[in-house]
Structure 1
Amino acid sequence: MTVADQDTSGNPEIDLTDPEVLRDPFTAYGRARERSPLARLRAPGIGTMWAVTRYEAAKALLADPRFEINARSFLRPDVPEHCLAYMRTMSELDGPEHSRQRRLVSPAFTVRRAAEFRPRIEPIVERLLDSLPEHAENGSVDLLRHFTRPLPIDVICESVGIPGPDRPRWRAYGATIAAGSGQGFGEAVPGIMEGAKAAIARRHADPGDDLLSDLIRVQAEDGDRLSETELVTMVWHLVLAGQTPANLIANAVAVLLAHPEQLAAVRADPALMPRAVEELTRWCGPTLLSIPRYPREDVDLFGTPVRKGEPVTAVIAAVNRDPRAFADPDRLDLARPAGPAGHLGFAHGPHFCLGASLARVQTEVALTALLRRFPNLALAGPSAAQRAMDPGTWRLAELRVTL
């Protein structure tokens, strides 16, 4: 197996195109973690990247100011030139520029605001579940296509005030963005930008109780506020980063259906759901690798010299199952008590996922309603959960279930 290879420093070396790594990254990265806190990842066309495999080291990396996120941390899609001004999201900012925007927008993304938005999410979930039987083919329905994928973009539309007639188009945008880069991705971006500008204009004229209105109203004590360009970019950021629940919910459903005793526990006690969402995020969250960081200077990582500008990532798939941080980490336990180590499924440090609270609420509402509405929910056969071979994201390409 490729993970058994090592570089000249003795660190494990992993080929991201290895079918065994793609099929079961948790085992592959787990073996590397137990050999060394540092590994090297290889991918044709991308090159090599250092990878931190253990929990405490990953937390330190993600909070270390010596490592920066910059434009090289992201694949830049081919988009029309007039959209480029809106493409540099807060995720790409670092230092004072990032701190300024984070300070301005954070009040709109608190745990309290996410909880207050729950009553707006619940009817969206119920409507999607109402329509599931209509999409059945040969007795089964693709839950990814007809439930988990449209849910996040429907929530985003509600949170930024996209009019009802425009929402089917935004659903198409969301599906395209969730699928990744390509021609369709670049073609969707102008529509999102124009829709964002129109939504911002509406909320300037008629503020509401929603996320976009919060962002427009926000003003720091020194009078600083988001510019119009920053507001459009923030909506783009929501669409881009807000797809996480689509994959998290789909992964969670597949895992629960494969663990009937855990499924029975959460059905019997719906109050267990918030804790269950945390455990599912730890155990089968979609993020396999963190956004790459680049050292601003030469550094030493566990005795290995890492040069300035060499990419470094945290292997979330390994650190969230590190036995140094979690007891019996390869066992799914929806009643796992909260301990000193929290999962890193939403990252850590200055770039901790801004929308984590909203993603958690969406996932809780979606799973609770799905299990309540369809007590006989089951996978539609042994090949019902088709896994996408994606080295960066643990996600499904299809999830066919019977209702």
Structure 2
Amino acid sequence: MHEIDLTDPAVLRDPFTAYQGSGRVVRLHVPGMPMWALTSHEDARAMLTDPRFAITSRSFAGIPGVPPEHDEYLRTMSELDGPNHLRLRRLAAPAFTARRARDFGPSIEPIVARLLSAPVTDLVADFARPLPMHVICELVGIPDADRPDWVAWGATVAAMDVEGLGRAIPGIIESAKSVLASRPEHGLLADLTTEDERLSATELVTLVWQIVLAGQTPANLIANAVAELWTRPDVLETLRAIPSLLPGAVDELIRWCGPQLLTVPRYATTDVDLFGTPVPAGEPVTVAIAAVNRDPAAFRDPNRFDVTRQAATHLGFGHGPHFCLGAAHARVQTEVALAGLLSRGLTLTSNPDEHRAPDPGTWRLTALPVTLDR
């Protein structure tokens, strides 16, 4: 049995290489929570649709400063299984289709232009991190006067600042409740609020909290994408010459340097033979996204970055019942952001690897110093 220590500096520096040749099932050593991990694309898809593996609550309840009365809003549908999850997802899904995301793209363009018109010296702090919350505000229908607070809350959530979360979570929830009470005529809450109240008020506010959490993915993806693309002048030239390649390039970037390294753990509900490895009931199993997205059985020449590759089968957004509800929006937001950056003169002013966070679950940058021609 191959074992990987996720606290090993070599693994933190290059998790993609760490999994190569490790076998179909590996044992991950994580402080306080050792778990099994799948490295095969085919095996991962099978496990993520197997009802013998269930998600348990990852609620943010109990964070210092969050009043107990807000607990009911903190367990999102991504933490639910079975009929309740299916009902919520079926009701919310029409607002998150690829067509809706594509139609929303023009609303993102002025946000990108506005952020890039201001001084940008750190792409993470000045652009990649604030952009998703500005987009979420537009998507949800947050009033203009409230948006600066939401941007600040989003930065706290993205940084996973525990002390700050105690202040941010109540603010997000109370503001979302206020917007819902005003019966908005535009935005996501307007779309999901109907006369028969298909989603309850609590479910709608909880959905907003889920959007805030998941909405931070583009922040890390955009920063990773810039760190990758702007060290490849030939690829930049290709994308500028053939803009139609950009949607496919985004999928290749998710496959190659997407922010999620591991899926949310599933727990075996019974003793399971996991492709030859016995897993006792109650033990956590994850998918090593860093491995499955470079599985040679799923991708030809997987260790080559290629923006012309058809990489949409990657598992960067998961698979099965818990496939990321906002995947289409994340793709479009990243595409619009990169298009805006490609139209300007941007230069990296330090090695991105110097700013890589030592995070075993997320491939992300804490900063990305740049110069940007406005």
One of 358, 381, 400 as aligned partner of 2:350: 381
One of 3, 21, 25 as aligned partner of 2:15: 25
Counterpart contact for 1:153–1:171, Cα < 8 Å: yes
Whether 1:364 aligns to 2:335 is yes
Instruction: Give the secondary-structure state (helix, strand or coil) at the position aligned to 1:402.
Output: strand
Whether 1:85 aligns to 2:75 is no
Counterpart contact for 1:379–1:385, Cα < 8 Å: no
Q: Shift in Å at residue 382 of structure 1?
A: 3.0
One of 203, 208, 232 as aligned partner of 2:205: 232
One of 311, 324, 345 as aligned partner of 2:297: 324
Q: Structure 2 matches for 1:222-371, cutoff 5 A?
A: 225-337=198-310, 342-371=313-342
Partner of 1:102: 89
Partner of 1:207: 185
Counterpart contact for 1:256–1:262, Cα < 8 Å: yes
AA paired with 1:311? P
Whether 1:114 aligns to 2:101 is yes
Q: Shift in Å at residue 337 of structure 1?
A: 3.3
Counterpart contact for 1:384–1:400, Cα < 8 Å: no
Instruction: Give the secondary-structure state (helix, strand or coil) at the position aligned to 2:270.
Output: coil
Q: Shift in Å at residue 185 of structure 1?
A: 1.2
Counterpart contact for 1:156–1:238, Cα < 8 Å: yes
Task: Give TM-score, length-normalised by structure 1.
Answer: 0.89
AA paired with 1:363? T
**CA RMSD for the aligned pairs?**
1.5
Task: Give TM-score, length-normalised by structure 2.
Answer: 0.96
Instruction: Give the secondary-structure state (helix, strand or coil) at the position aligned to 1:396.
Output: coil
How many Å separate the matches in 1 of 2:270 and 2:70?
A: 33
Q: Deviations over 1:58-108 (max 9, x none)?
A: 11111111111111x566551221210100100011000100001100001
**Post-superposition, which runs of at least 4 consecutive aligned residues in structure 1 deviate over 4 A?**
73-77
Q: Shift in Å at residue 49 of structure 1?
A: 0.3
How many Å separate the matches in 2 of 1:311 and 1:383?
A: 33
Q: Shift in Å at residue 381 of structure 1?
A: 2.6
Partner of 1:149: 129
Q: Deviations over 1:231-254 (max 9, x none)?
A: 110111110111000000100000
Q: Shift in Å at residue 224 of structure 1?
A: 6.7
Change over 3 Å in CA distance of 1:300–1:23 after alignment to 2 = same
Whether 1:55 aligns to 2:45 is no
Change over 3 Å in CA distance of 1:74–1:299 after alignment to 2 = farther
AA paired with 2:77? M
Counterpart contact for 2:252–2:310, Cα < 8 Å: no
Q: Deviations over 1:203-257 (max 9, x none)?
A: x2x422x22211113x8xxx67111110110111110111000000100000001
Whether 1:66 aligns to 2:52 is yes
How many Å separate the matches in 2 of 1:112 and 1:270?
A: 20
Identity of aligned residues (%): 61
AA paired with 2:40? R
Q: Deviations over 1:156-211 (max 9, x none)?
A: 11111211121111111000000115111122100001100011122x2x422x22
Instruction: Give the secondary-structure state (helix, strand or coil) at the position aligned to 1:399.
Output: coil
Counterpart contact for 2:39–2:291, Cα < 8 Å: yes
How many Å separate the matches in 2 of 1:27 and 1:280?
A: 17
Instruction: Give the secondary-structure state (helix, strand or coil) at the position aligned to 1:195.
Output: helix
Q: Shift in Å at residue 296 of structure 1?
A: 1.2
Say which is worse superposed, 239-248 or 224-233, in terms of deviation. Answer: 224-233
Q: Shift in Å at residue 47 of structure 1?
A: 2.5
The count of aligned residue pairs is 370
How many Å separate the matches in 1 of 2:298 and 2:145?
A: 48
Counterpart contact for 2:59–2:74, Cα < 8 Å: no
Change over 3 Å in CA distance of 1:308–1:67 after alignment to 2 = same
Partner of 2:140: 160
Q: Shift in Å at residue 301 of structure 1?
A: 1.0
Q: Structure 2: which 5+ residue stretches go unaligned?
A: none
Q: Deviations over 1:100-127 (max 9, x none)?
A: 0011000010011111111111111110
Counterpart contact for 2:76–2:206, Cα < 8 Å: yes
How many Å separate the matches in 1 of 2:349 and 2:111?
A: 25
Counterpart contact for 2:60–2:75, Cα < 8 Å: no
